[in-house]
Chain A
Amino acid sequence: MQPVNPLVSSAHKDALLLWMGFQNPECLVKPLSRRHTDPSVIVHAMLLMSHRGGHQESKKKLEISPSETMKAEEENYKEEAKEPKSEDWRPPSVFGAADLKNRAVGLYNIGQTCCLNSLLQVFLMNIHFTKILRRISVPVCATQKKKNVPYQMLLLLEKMQCGKQKAVSPRELVLCLEAHRVTMFVQYDAAQLFLTLWNLLKKQMKNPELVEKLSDLYTISVQEHLACQICSSETKRNSSMLSLPVPLLDSDSSMLKTLEKCLQCFFRPEELTGHNMCFCEHCGKKTPFQQSVKLVHLPQTLTIHLKRFCFGRSAYIHKISNCLPFPQDLDFNAVLTEQQCQAYDNEKAAWRYELFAVVAHSGTTSYGHYCAYIRSLTECKWYCFNDSFVEQVSWDDVKSTYGHSDLYWGQTAYLLFYMKKQPQ
């Protein structure tokens, strides 16, 4: 046995850390990202990126022969540089099956990025999304390229599909997100990160047509109703959501047994009485109200967020690991009643879904691990994406994410992605 290396373990650890921070952009140190508000630091981060991407400077400085990958990367960038910078540039395979052209490819965890990796896989395995992504316009200058999230995502997709490796590193995308004040290398809530990512994508897609397509693909339309229980006056408001945040506990704090029940609970009208009473303009006073949400439109890719976290007595958030089965096939017409929908029949006829992906979380609220189970839309097979490790699995494995009341550290489904079925 080797004794513990004193240099690394104790006094000289800091020295090593600094060294890592400088030399190894893969292991970016946190303080950098925290100071992003300061423009000078952003420049600093850019420099770091240029170390990696352009590499010429470091080459000159350190006179090191670049390794194989570095060479390859350099070539990559050269290729990009050669590519026409016009707005209508398209990658070669626009309409081909975007996912799994080259088997499922993993993403290296470059420091607490399992959450991001899982979400990226869910995005990139969705052919409806990649069709949109492949049509984005490429930013003109290099700085913009590095800051453009859709573009970096596209690059990552290309990298996953062209390479022969079993996994690739999402480093550039991570750096790009850092540039947009998305703190990386910290524990993330997948639902929150999903929203952040999606908003960034939407914001940075310049083409309005694509933005609309992206919205169509993911956003849910609902109508919120607020009805005074005294005078029956009603106010309505249309709103859009990226995911349906369904509760796991009903109003009596008892566990709901199935996903369908959770959805029903979400759309159940709620009485606002006592402290929750609202001011009614017609009655001129605070009156009890009934609040309800009606479903107007469901998108191609439907995201359901299982609210597996609940507040205990002492503001301490704990995770609900209880079993919640979700079906492979979900028909909203069978779940919701007439009153809970506000849609035409032809819209409702399309509300048949099949499960596409599950983002599962294992661990506690304070720290844990994410992985993604995704059903390939081209092969119709399930894969499990555990960072760099990808494996074909079966539906039974997906079912193991239902949860278990005895297993607090086991994996539980957190985000569910359903895909609209093709009309027969």
Chain B
Amino acid sequence: MAQWQEVQQLPPTHLERVHQLYTNAALPMTVRQSLADWIEDQDWQQAAEPFSSHARMLFHSLLTLLGEQLGSLGPGDEDFMLKHNLRKARIDLQAAFEEHPENFANLVANLLQEERCILRRAQAKGQVEATPAPSTASQSSQEQEIQQRLTEFRTALQEAERAFRHMEDLQDTFDFSYKMYYRPGQDHSHDPQYAQHIQALQAKLQSLDRQRREVVAQIQQLLGRSETLRDFLQQELSAWHERQQRSCLGAPTDTCLLQLQGWFTALGEGLFQLLQLLRAVGELRQKVTYEQDPLQSELPLLEKRLQEQLTCLLQSAFVVEQQPCMPNTPKRPLVLRTANIHIDRDPPKTRGFRKFNILTSSSKTVLVGDSPREGLVCDFQYLTLKEQKGGGSGKGSRGTNEGPLAVTEELHLITFTLAYAYCGLELKLETSTLPFVIISNNNQLSSAWASVLWFNMLSPNPKDQQFFTTPPPAPWPRLAEVLSWQFQSTAERGLSREHLHMLAEKLFGSKPPPDSALPWTKFSKDGAAGFSFWAWLDGILALLHDHLKQLWKDGLILGFVSRKQEKKLLKVKRSGTFLIRFSESVLGGVTCTWVEHPESGPPAFRAVVPYTAAELASLALPDIIRDYQLLAEENIPENPLLFLYPDVARDEAFGPYYSQRQEGILTKKKEYLNQRLIRVSSRQPHETWQTQEELVMTTEDLETLRLNSGGQQPVSPGTVPGGDRTPGTPQAVSPGLQQAVAAGLGMQQPGSQIPVLPSPQQLGSGSLGVLQTGMGDLGLPVVLQVVQVGPGGQGVLPIGGGAVGPLLGSGTAELLLGNGAAELLPSGLGDLEGLPLQEPELEVGAGQLEATELLPTLDDSAVLLDPSDPFLPQSEDVALPATASLFTADGDFPPLHIDASDFQ
């Protein structure tokens, strides 16, 4: 905004000052008002210098302009006074300053400066008043500082341009006089006029020289300030990089680039403008130069310094806005354009480091204006990765050139390079993604993610591909934070202090010192229980995401409670008080513990065998709790779960989560009886609390349960189909069902510690390996997948979409599961998914699985189930049977033999 306009908008107190300023000024306010823009455009400061012919020129221009203004005014009454005032001002000014126009220039320069001073003071005061307001409070002081400096930079740039224009004028005048009057080689000793001309010429050169030095000093100063500004932006950018890294780990942070982009653009524009200015100055030097010309020596320096700054700025402005990620999320703009991709541009020179090619088009051209949004953005979507294989090595070649690092500890980078050309500045910019892990099978996902967590949490260098040769231990506070983010991003509720305390005790023993640190192997590899700490947590995360999200979010699950702590909590509560916690011995298990106060003796604590995803898939936890029955010795079933810890009635706590009861439409003739599944535990008089069985009930009415006890085999994992058809017969486990479970587990490789696939939606396995620069708030980004096909070893993975369909060629060796995969099932097998009956207790039942046949058959119990029953899971929720079907279709694979030891 023009200065005079700003002045007029000042609050009254400050406006008063302006009036005072003009009361005694020789320049009437009328003149200031009518020629406001012109006056502000001139360099009065320069003209105020003695020697200046500029002052006279300006003074006469002003008088001429005033004359024109007078002429343009109409005869109307409103103009009458103005006309009079202007005419008077013109006469007065002419009389006062005709002799010494530089005094006039000085006067105007001072007035303008005073105005600026008043404006500044008003703004400063305004800021002080505005600071308590919430709108400005949201901006950090650093942001304000940057904004202010950008404004100052622009103002200084305008001043430099003005000084440049003045220099141009001076040079033109000098050049003209030089051509007119300078006649060397002739004898002028008797020509006094010539000497006078030479003298004037000399003076002109002097002032030109002075102005040149002035411009150079001004640009030096401008460059100095822009360095500070660039430092600030750099700081903000590294803060952003950090935020991005944290948000990759699931932290709830803002990774919007808009503001940074605005700042970088503003500074970049300014610097390019300065570059143009420097070039224009260079052109002036081409025309006139002389000994000790400041431009001669200083211009190259200035240009080099400026170019370096621009390079530095542009280099850092080229960022990967969205890290590669598998699920398809909406795109956001990058800051600059990209062209070529090189994956692992400088691969670590280690034997056995896998190499990958990107199969899809890897170069793009982006021009300004291509993108609908601001900034130069390039999306690389649907990239395909292919593993490079050494000649002659077929499948299993990894065995021969085994690297020192496990596949999931191998870190890869995608480097984007950009040939940047703008305003004659040609640069090669480069940026890299964060390191990611390439896996070939979904069962590696969990450990791959562990690597990603560890790296982003601890690596000081975001490009250190050799990080896992010597992974540092994680300090507990840092790890605790990151773990909490996992829960936050998976189930929208982080870990409480009590949770973290329990985890710390689990890892470091009771009373852990505050500076405890967890080594990488202890986190992801070793584990006393047969699975690592991370596998355990990841199992819980998957369970939470798939089945318990709402309960966890609403805080109904106490979750991480040690046995000891649990007893302490429940001891003081009345009988039937229960809490829900995660199992420490079963992967991805959740259980209820309740307290009973017998008439004599100490309180007894009882807990059901942990429910895993397999059980919860068929019956939701709130329903289990509602219908849970304990068969006491008298065989009168009762629900021992009465109050949720600390003291909430069961139905009050879980009421909102119960499935709607199918009351049945009474008017309709019933062809079938209603059915529902409930969980029952039975207890012998002297038995421990670890018993549970499962019943399928067919009920006519939900209040009347016709129960059949399965109590004779308390430790047996047998499935007891209930209802009319097989009343009271503790039947053998249905083979087909077991098959599904077994095969499902087999897919995850025997011995692997991940019994339950994390939900595809969450983990992105559904859309296989979408290498796009994009990540939603959903879960685990930096994990890529490669599918290996056959012995040729060239797994081609179309990345993107949710469909795995086209992949299913004849040679597909392994296929990762996701919700997309379910569609591929032969239709007849679809029913399998509906099977609610699953192995409740793998640890005990595993022995029986060994001999079972691979081919799934439909069991009687399946017939029992009405596929439309709302209690039953929808097909997407159960991915495991689908795996089995794939195996049956694939002749290359031997039948799986499940070893009991796999499930320890």
Asked if A254 is an interface residue, CB under 8 A from chain B, the answer is no
Q: How far is the CA of A363 from the CA of B228 in the complex (A)?
A: 17
Asked if A7 and B217 make an inter-chain contact with CB atoms under 8 angstroms apart, the answer reads: no
Interface residues of B in 201-231 (CB under 8 A from A): 202-203, 205-206, 209-210, 213-214, 216-218, 220-221, 223-225, 227-228, 231
A165 CA to B106 CA, complexed, in Å: 11
Instruction: Please tell me if the beta carbons of B50 and A67 are within 8 angstroms of each other in the complex.
Output: yes
A363 to B299, CA, bound (A): 12
User: Which residues in window 340-375 of A have CB below 8 A to B?
Assistant: 362-363, 367-369, 371
Q: Is the CB of A16 within 8 A of B290?
A: yes
Question: Which parts of A143-164 form the interface with B (CB within 8 Å)?
Answer: none
CB-CB nearest in chain B for A111: B292
In the complex the two chains form, what is the Cα distance from A108 to B309 in whole Å?
26
Contacting pair B286 A409 (CB below 8 A): no
- Measured CB to CB, the closest approach of chain A to B175, in angstroms, equals 6
Chain A residues near B102 (CB-CB < 8 A) = 68
Q: Is A87 an interface residue (CB 8 A)?
A: no
User: Are B213 and A388 in contact (CB-based, < 8 A)?
Assistant: yes
Query: Does B291 make an interface contact (CB < 8 A)?
Result: yes
B751 at the interface (CB under 8 A from A): no
**A363 engages B291 (CB within 8 Å):** no
A387:B178 contact, CB within 8 angstroms? no
Interface residues of B in 529-573 (CB under 8 A from A): none
Q: How far is the CA of A58 from the CA of B192 in the complex (A)?
A: 14
CB distance from B263 to the nearest CB of A (A): 15
Check: A192 CB closer than 8 A to any chain B CB: no
The interface residues of chain B lying within 8 Å CB-to-CB of A68 are 50-51, 102
Question: Which single member of A8, A20, A386, A399 contacts B221 (CB below 8 Å)?
Answer: A386
In this complex, which of B209, B210, B220, B301 has the most chain A Cβ atoms within 10 angstroms of its Cβ?
B220
A335 to chain B, nearest CB (A): 26
Cβ-defined contact, B294 with A12, below 8 A: no
CA distance A362 to B303 in the complex (A): 12
In the complex, A5→B175 CA distance in Å?
Answer: 8
A273 located at the interface, meaning its Cβ lies under 8 Å from any Cβ of chain B in the complex: no
Asked whether, in the complex, the Cβ of A109 is within 8 Å of the Cβ of B213, the reply is yes
Report yes or no: B228 in contact with A108, Cβ–Cβ below 8 A: no
Pick from B182, B218, B291: contact of A21, CB below 8 A.
Answer: B291
A121 beta carbon closer than 8 Å to chain B: no
Q: Per-position contact with A for B599-615: 1 when CB-CB < 8 Å, else 0?
A: 00000000000000000
Q: What separation, in Å, do the CA atoms of A111 and B295 have in the docked complex? A: 10
Interface assignment of A287: CB less than 8 Å from any CB of chain B: no
On chain B, the residues within 8 Å of A112 by CB distance are: 297
Interface size on A, residues (CB 8 A): 60
Select which of A63, A67, A371 is within 8 A of B220 by beta carbon.
A371
Residues from 15 to 73 in A contacting B, C-beta threshold 8 Å = 15-17, 19-21, 23-24, 26-29, 62-64, 67-69, 72
Instruction: Specify which chain A residues have a CB less than 8 angstroms from the CB of B304 in the assembled complex.
Output: 363, 409
Per-residue contact bits, chain B 32-60, to A (CB 8 Å; 1 contact, 0 not): 00000000000001000111000000000
* Contact stretch, chosen from A204-212, A295-303, A400-408: A400-408
* Contacting residue for A410 out of B145, B198, B209, B308, CB 8 A: B308
B50 pairs with A7, CB closer than 8 A: no
- Quick check: A185 and B227 within 8 Å, CB to CB? no
Known: A20-B290, A27-B209, A389-B217. A409 touches B308 (CB 8 A): yes
Instruction: Report whether A5 and B224 are in contact in the complex, using a CB–CB cutoff of 8 Å.
Output: no
The answer to whether A363 and B175 have CB atoms under 8 Å apart is no
Cross-chain contact B220 with A386 (CB below 8 angstroms)? yes
Shortest Cβ gap from A105 to chain B (Å) = 13
* Residues of chain A lying within 8 A (CB to CB) of residue B196: 64
Q: A8 contacts B203, CB within 8 Å?
A: no
Of B175, B202, B209, B217, which contacts A386 at CB under 8 A?
A: B217
Q: Are A5 and B288 in contact, CB atoms less than 8 angstroms apart? A: yes
Return chain A residues, CB-CB under 8 Å to B192.
63
Are A387 and B217 within 8 A (Cβ)?
yes
Q: Are B178 and A62 in contact, with the CB atoms below 8 A? A: no
Query: What A residues does B124 contact at CB under 8 A?
Result: none
Task: Say yes or no: B292 contacts A185, CB within 8 Å.
Answer: yes
Please tell me if B239 contacts chain A, counting CB pairs below 8 Å. Answer: no
- Kindly supply a per-residue 1/0 record for chain A positions 100-118, scoring 1 wherever the CB is within 8 Å of any chain B CB and 0 otherwise: 0000001011111000000
Inter-chain CB contacts under 8 Å: number: 149
In the complex, A9 has a CB within 8 A of chain B: yes
Q: Within 8 Å of chain A (Cβ to Cβ): is B199?
A: yes
Q: Bound state CA distance, A72 and B102, in angstroms?
A: 15
A15 and B225 form a contact (CB under 8 A): no
Are A407 and B308 in contact, CB atoms less than 8 angstroms apart?
yes
For B505-547 the 0/1 string (1 means CB < 8 A from A) is 0000000000000000000000000000000000000000000
**What does DSSP make chain B's interface, helix, strand, loop or mixed?**
helix
Cβ of B269 within 8 Å of any chain A Cβ, yes or no, is no
A80 lies within 8 A of chain B by Cβ: no
Indicate whether A227 reaches chain B with its CB closer than 8 angstroms. Answer: no
Q: Which of B50, B199, B205 contacts A20 (CB 8 A)?
A: B205
> Which chain A positions have C-beta within 8 A of B218?
386, 389
B345 interface residue (CB < 8 Å to A): no
Q: Looking at the complex, which one of B178, B213, B224 makes contact with A400 (CB distance below 8 Å)?
A: B224
Given contact pairs A106-B217, A108-B210, A384 touches B309 in the complex (Cβ within 8 A): no
Q: Which B residues lie within 8 Å of A26 (CB)? A: 206, 209
- Given A8-B289, A362-B305, are A384 and B221 also a contact pair (CB < 8 Å)? yes
Verify if B424 is at the interface (C-beta below 8 Å from A): no
Residue in B178, B206, B301, B309 whose beta carbon sits within 8 Å of that of A7 in the complex: B178
A396-B228 in contact given A62-B195, A64-B195, A409-B308 (Cβ < 8 Å): yes
Chain B CB within 8 A of A380 CB: no
Contact of B125 with A by CB under 8 A: no
Q: What is the bound-complex CA distance between A308 and B123, given in angstroms?
A: 42
Contact (A387, B213) CB under 8 Å given A24-B205, A397-B228: yes
Contact A369 B220 (CB under 8 A): yes
User: Is A2 positioned at the interface, with any CB of B under 8 Å from its CB?
Assistant: yes
The reply to whether the CB of B670 lies closer than 8 angstroms to some CB of chain A is no
Q: How far is the CA of A29 from the CA of B290 in the complex (A)?
A: 11
Q: Cβ of B406 < 8 Å from any Cβ of A?
A: no
- Quick one: which of A4, A23, A109 contacts B202, CB cutoff 8 A? A23
Q: Does A411 contact B (CB under 8 A)?
A: yes
In the complex, are the beta carbons of A5 and B178 less than 8 A apart?
yes
Residues in A with CB closer than 8 Å to B50 are 67-69, 72
* B298: Cβ under 8 A from any A Cβ: yes
Q: Counting CB contacts under 8 A, is B654 at the interface?
A: no
- For B297-340 the 0/1 string (1 means CB < 8 A from A) is 11001001100110010000000000000000000000000000
A270 near B: Cβ within 8 Å? no
Contacts of B198 in A (CB 8 A): 23
| A391 contacts B by Cβ under 8 Å | yes
Cβ of A242 to closest chain B Cβ, rounded Å: 27
* Chain A residues positioned under 8 Å from B225 (CB to CB): 391, 393, 397
Given contacts A7-B178, A8-B288, A23-B202, contact A69 B51 (CB under 8 A): yes
CB-CB nearest in chain B for A108: B213
A400 CA to B228 CA, complexed, in Å: 5
Q: Which residue of A lies closest to B195 (CB)?
A: A62
**B232 at the binding interface (Cβ < 8 Å):** yes
Contact yes or no, B213 A24, CB < 8 A = no
Is A15's CB under 8 angstroms from B217's CB? no
Q: Quick check: is B399 within 8 A (CB to CB) of the other chain?
A: no
User: B288 to chain A: which residues have CB within 8 Å?
Assistant: 5, 8
Closest 5 A-B residue pairs measured CB to CB? A68-B50, A409-B305, A389-B217, A387-B217, A400-B228
- 14 residue pairs A–B, Cβ–Cβ below 8 Å: A9-B286, A9-B287, A23-B202, A24-B205, A27-B290, A27-B291, A62-B199, A63-B192, A67-B203, A68-B51, A389-B221, A404-B312, A407-B312, A409-B304
| Given A369-B301, A399-B228, 12 additional A-B pairs, CB 8 A | A5-B175, A5-B179, A24-B205, A68-B50, A110-B213, A185-B292, A367-B297, A384-B224, A386-B224, A397-B224, A407-B308, A409-B308
Chain A residues packing against B (C-beta within 8 Å): 2, 4-5, 7-9, 12-13, 15-17, 19-21, 23-24, 26-29, 62-64, 67-69, 72, 106, 108-112, 165-166, 185, 362-363, 367-369, 371, 384, 386-389, 391, 393, 396-397, 399-400, 404, 406-411
